[in-house]
Structure 1
Amino acid sequence: MAEFKYEIVEEIAQLSESAKGWYKEFNLISWNERSPKYDLREWAPDHEKMGKGITLSAEELKILRDALNKLDL
């Protein structure tokens, strides 16, 4: 399996903690030394392991923000 690098540039929000002690987080992450993108996924407490997640560009995040603002929450 190909190796990849990541750097958490900014920890924005910790949304929840699972029963196994992992945290669902919203962060700004640089993947493979590329420009940082917004990322939502579960992380082990030490950030050494991660679950599946989604990564969004700033433009995609703006579209998502606008869609969420239309919801009656």
Structure 2
Amino acid sequence: MAEIKFEITKTIGTISTSPKGWNKELNLISWSGNEPKYDLRDWARDHSKMGKGVTLTDQELKALKELLNTIE
């Protein structure tokens, strides 16, 4: 399997931490040298391993924010 190339260009924050020590984080990540996108996924403490996640463009993140603002 090919190695996944990524660079965390900005750490936004941690949403939660699992009992095993993995953090669910929102970061700005450049995948394979492309423009950075917002990314929400689980990470090992040292970022050596990652879980499945969701990657969002600026527009998609703004749309999600609007949806979340409707939740009480």
Which TM-score bucket, shorter chain as reference?
Answer: over 0.9
Partner of 2:26: 26
> Identity across aligned pairs (percent)?
58
Q: CA deviation at 1:51?
A: 0.4
Spell out, residue by residue over 1:1-37, the C-alpha distance to the aligned partner (whole angstroms, 9 max, x if none). Answer: 2222000000001111101111010000000000000
For structure 2, the residue ranges without an aligned partner over 5 or more in a row are none
Q: CA deviation at 1:48?
A: 0.7
Partner of 1:5: 5
2:8 maps to a residue whose letter is I
2:51 maps to a residue whose letter is G
> Would you say how many aligned residue pairs link Structure 1 and Structure 2?
72
Partner of 2:54: 54
Partner of 2:69: 69
- The ranges of structure 1 where at least 4 consecutive aligned residues each deviate by more than 2 angstroms after the TM superposition are none
For structure 1, the residue ranges without an aligned partner over 5 or more in a row are none
